[in-house]
Structure 1
Amino acid sequence: MKTILVLGASGKVGRLLRAVWSAETPQGLRVIYQFRDAAPDAADCIRFAPGDPAEDLGTIDAVLSLWGVTSGDARALAANTDLGLEAMRIARATGADRVLHASSIAVYAPSDAPLGEDDPVGAPNAYGAAKADMEIAVRSETGPRSCCLRIGSVAGAESLAASVDAYQAAEVKTPLTLHRFASGHGPARSYIAPSDLARAIEALALRPLTDLPEAVNIGASRPVTMDALLHAAGIPFDWQPAPDAAREIAVLNTECLHRLAPLPRDDGDPDHIVRDWLHWRARA
């Protein structure tokens, strides 16, 4: 039995993973969840802040670093590097042999083709640049192996989910709006359902170090359009012509992940993604 420490468990992705793993205990893994402030009164949760003595955590086999900063100026976003290095410090102090760092599709230079791990890094925005800087910094560290998870969209933890939540909570239901491109569809993205993300992390935490890449794209085996997700969720929406600057396609080549992790064949099906998202979102 190996122990994995989840840093940033209070975030949206962390809460979804805790919901999945609380209901479906991962085989071969014991999970500990880190909270910076008040931690839930549970045996699997700890209170720990960056800079605290890591030796107090005991022996850890793997670290999942979900904590980070998603908005703000360059100085605020630079904290992503600080937190990545802090995850490495914790791993060294606890004996962990690997750190799985949450990165993003945003590190890549834009392309309409599926983006592979060997494609150029050239983020067009400050958030993507900050995550790319974090990746460079953690790879330069000695000790545990770093694997950067270049995540597309985690269903239930991104902007579309927030819009759906707001619609469902509203007393007066106003249809959502969605950009429509020349293809007749909305934006195409690489989504992954919460339970599939959990299975992917389990596989990466347990694989031999020799199998662990420096970076791996995280998403379903095929992309999905946002209109397909809204149709699957039964949420009404109105089309709005996409502005010239809008990006229709931002998708990942996930062949590497699917060689490493046993994910379901229908992982890119809109009905599967929405069903899984709504199930775990209600429990997170």
Structure 2
Amino acid sequence: MGASGRVGSLLLQHWRSAPPIIPLRTQSRGERFDLKWSPIIDGPDPLCRFADRQGGLSGIIALSGATPSTRGNLSETALLADAVLSAAVKAGVPRVLFTSSSAVYALGENLSESDEPAPTSDYGQAKVDMESVVAQSAGTTLDACCLRIGNVAGADALLGRKSNTPVLLDRFPDGHGPRRSYIGPIQLAKVLERLMLHPARLPLVLNVAAEPPVRMSDLLQAAGLPWEWVPAPEERLKTQSITLDCTGLAKITGKASLAASPASMIAELRKLGALA
């Protein structure tokens, strides 16, 4: 689901050249995809009919939903999750992976799934509300997991921008810039495949990012993009390092599956033609 979005488009570019073991079908509210479906408006019937035609669906990767960059209606985030859950149950879909976000957390390092959500933005709060809806499915036959994904290389404002003007990067008192938990789109696609094929029930929430975290300046350097330092304003001093602890994910997908570097992430984007 959400095949037309920024992350979905990058994942599809990879999967079209390296199809996953399970046959992949795409959904969007627009044309050009296998299923045209608006869950909130259309209800579960289109998914049920589509599942019947496909001989059943083994799972759903729900990438759809409003983001700050799309200026969508964040208040629909929880409603959309509820509509997808209801449709999945009715269509007999056993597993749904929902894309949540690291934005559910407060600012900090090594943030883990055991930390209480404390979002600092409306987007983060919308994802918390979505997770609350998904939590209501716990204990049912449906296996639903919310993936608290970090920054996806190529889909964020750092590497996904089209302007040739230099990126302005905050420089903090220690001389370094922002440090974040990133993951490349091809690596993310492989993680999603492993999660969809995992034989046991998944946790309700999972952090998703590559390891170790990377400096944004290193990504820009690896990409050969123009950028400049600017002094970090005092109100952003606490934002220098925002990183995820992905121990839980590593136990499921294997620690080696999460290993990455700025160079490997940039190589993924170049392979997909998403970076000159």
TM-score exceeds 0.5: yes
- Deviation string, structure 1 residues 193-247 (Cα, Å, up to 9, x no partner): 111101110111011233x111111100110011000010111211100111221
Counterpart check, 1:148 vs 2:151: no
Asked if 1:95 corresponds to 2:92, the answer is yes
Deviation of 1:264 after TM superposition, in Å, equals 4.5
Q: What stretches of structure 1 of length at least 5 have no aligned partner? A: 1-6, 168-173
Q: Tell me if structure 2 keeps the 8 A contact 1:200–1:262.
A: no
Cα distance in 2 for residues equivalent to 1:234 and 1:282 = 14
**1:237 and 2:227 correspond:** yes
1:3 maps to which residue? none
SS in 1 for 2:99: strand
- Choose the corresponding residue for 1:182, options 159, 167, 173: 173
**Sequence identity, in percent?**
36
- Give the TM-score of the pair, scaled to structure 2: 0.89
Cα distance in 2 for residues equivalent to 1:140 and 1:207: 22
1:197 to 165, 168, 188: 188
Q: Which aligned runs of 4 or more in structure 1 are off by greater than 6 angstroms?
A: none
In the superposition, the TM-score normalised over structure 1's length comes to 0.86
The two structures, once aligned, show a CA RMSD in angstroms of 2.1
Secondary structure of 2:82's aligned partner: helix
The reply to whether residue 14 of structure 1 matches residue 4 of structure 2 is no
Counting only pairs closer than 5 Å after superposition, residues 51-62 of structure 1 correspond to structure 2 as: 51-52=42-43, 53=45, 54-58=47-51, 59-62=56-59
2:216 paired residue number: 226
User: Is 1:114–1:251's contact at 8 Å kept on the other side of the alignment?
Assistant: yes
- Count of matched residue positions in the alignment of Structure 1 and Structure 2: 262
Deviations 1:237-284 (Å, cap 9, x if unpaired)?
11100111221111100111122114646833110011112322539x
| Residues 1-284 of structure 1 aligned to structure 2 (within 5 Å) | 7-27=1-21, 29-40=22-33, 45-50=34-39, 51-52=42-43, 53=45, 54-58=47-51, 59-71=56-68, 76-111=73-108, 113-141=109-137, 142-163=140-161, 165-167=162-164, 174-210=165-201, 212-246=202-236, 247-262=239-254, 264=256, 267-282=259-274
Between the aligned partners of 1:123 and 1:256, the Cα distance in structure 2 is 21
Q: Which runs of no fewer than 5 residues in structure 2 stay unpaired?
A: none
Q: Distance in 1 between matches of 2:150 and 2:274?
A: 22
Residues 250 and 257 of structure 2 are in contact (CA less than 8 Å); yes or no, is this contact kept in structure 1?
Answer: no
Counterpart CA distance in 1 for 2:135 and 2:207 is: 17
Contact between 1:65 and 1:102, CA under 8 Å: does it hold in 2?
yes
Q: CA deviation at 1:61?
A: 1.3
Following the alignment from structure 2 to structure 1, what is the Cα–Cα distance between the partners of residues 81 and 150? Answer: 19
Q: What SS does the corresponding residue of 1:22 show, helix, strand or coil?
A: helix
* Structure 1 residues 197 and 266: alpha-carbon distance in aligned structure 2, compared to 1, 3 A threshold: closer
Query: 2-side partners of 1:71 and 1:220: how far apart?
Result: 23
- Shift in CA distance, 144/124, structure 1 to aligned 2, threshold 3 Å: same
